[in-house]
Amino acid sequence: MSVDREKMRLSFLDQMSRRRFLAGSTSLAAAAASAGLVLPRRAFAQADTIRFCSWGGALQDLQRTHVLTPFQEASGIRVVEDSLPFPSRIKAMVDSGNLEFDVVETDLLTQLTLEDMGEYFEPIDYSMLSPEALAGIPDELKMDKAVGYFYWSYNIGFRTDKFGGASPQSWADVWDTEKFPGERTLTSADDGQYPNLEFALLADGVAKEDLYPIDIDRAFASLDKIKPSVAKWWSSGSEVVQLFTSGEVTTGSTYSGRILTAKDEGAPVDLSWNDGQASLDYLMVVKGAPMEPAMKLLDALLKVQPQIAIFNEYAGGPANSDVLAGLKPGRAAVLPSDPANLSKMYVQDSRWWADNFGTVVDRFHEWSLL
């Protein structure tokens, strides 16, 4: 792979990471502050230290309370926190041999794309992980260098006060402005977002199992049909929830956690899980990390009871079915990994988007000016 191609893919990955970070509610500075950090920083490995990097904000606060602090106290291994594991950081620190963190939570797209460029993650030693921590994780999520942690998703959002008691339950419904009148919102191609091509294809009659490889021409032809009704192409979680709660739009795409939080706060909004897009965060060990303490921390993060405490509060869907089963009554039903919800969605093909992002974004920018 050429140096220019590597830079382009890393830039894309950093944008995607910022996009998934912005699904939450904290800024980059707030994320750093929540972990007691000042960025940039560099910590060097010690025999009695392990370094963990997550995404800051509410999630990392919960991880600290329920996993990191108890692990440090029980094991005697000092945990140093970091946040914002952008792919370019991982590549730079492994290439230089100066690791800033050892265990990381991030998505499979990061792992797959970096591994195309070299060796950036260690194989997971599953023999060092507790059987009870692994029992509820599907085998397909126990990968060589990554183990599934939690799901998040894009879904159909809608106003509950606009359609006389009815609601859009498919992307074809979202595209039907006669049956469901009002302005729409879909993702932009800015700030790490990417156009909702899959939703456009689903609206045009493509089955979920036939989405990939994406027929780009057909997707844009479908977007042509809804374009006049799109009030705003959104680029952040705060922006899209404001569009819904203000009433500027009646339906469109949204993050599940954002719209359900607004619903809990009393806004007349809801979602449909039908034809949503599920994405998954994994836990990984960075290349060159001290393996014994890294695997001990990984085991602590995967244990069932601490995850129950985390996901009773955090709006992600645990990948471990034993965690789902242990959540407080009614909690699993509003999370993307609940089997009833997940079965209605598809999982994004990270490889296809890694290979085609630049082409799609360039075309979207040109198309949006027409």
Q: Are strands 78-83 and 103-107 parallel, antiparallel or unpaired?
A: unpaired
The number of beta carbons lying within 10 Å of the beta carbon of residue 330 is 7
At 171, the amino acid letter reads W
Per-residue model confidence (pLDDT) at position 193: 78
Q: d(Cα 168, Cα 194) in Å, to the nearest integer?
A: 23
pLDDT digit string (tens) for 216-267? 999 999 999 999 999 999 988 889 999 999 999 999 999 998 999 999 999 9
The number of beta carbons lying within 10 Å of the beta carbon of residue 177 is 16
Torsion, Cα of 237, 243, 245, 248 (10° steps): -170
Residue 83 has which token pair? Answer: 């946040």
pLDDT digit string (tens) for 198-214? 999 999 999 999 999 99
Q: d(Cα 145, Cα 125) in Å, to the nearest integer?
A: 9
| pLDDT at position 30 over 50 | no
CATH topology of domain 3-151+279-352: D-Maltodextrin-Binding Protein; domain 2 (3.40.190)
- Cβ atoms of 208 and 170 within 8 Å: the answer is no
Question: Which of 261 and 172 is assigned the larger pLDDT?
Answer: 172
Residue 329 has which token pair? Answer: 């009554």
CATH placement of domain 154-278:
3.40.190.10
Residue 123 has which token pair? Answer: 């194989």
- In the chain, CATH 3.40.190.10 sits at 3-151+279-352, 154-278
| pLDDT at position 136 over 80 | yes
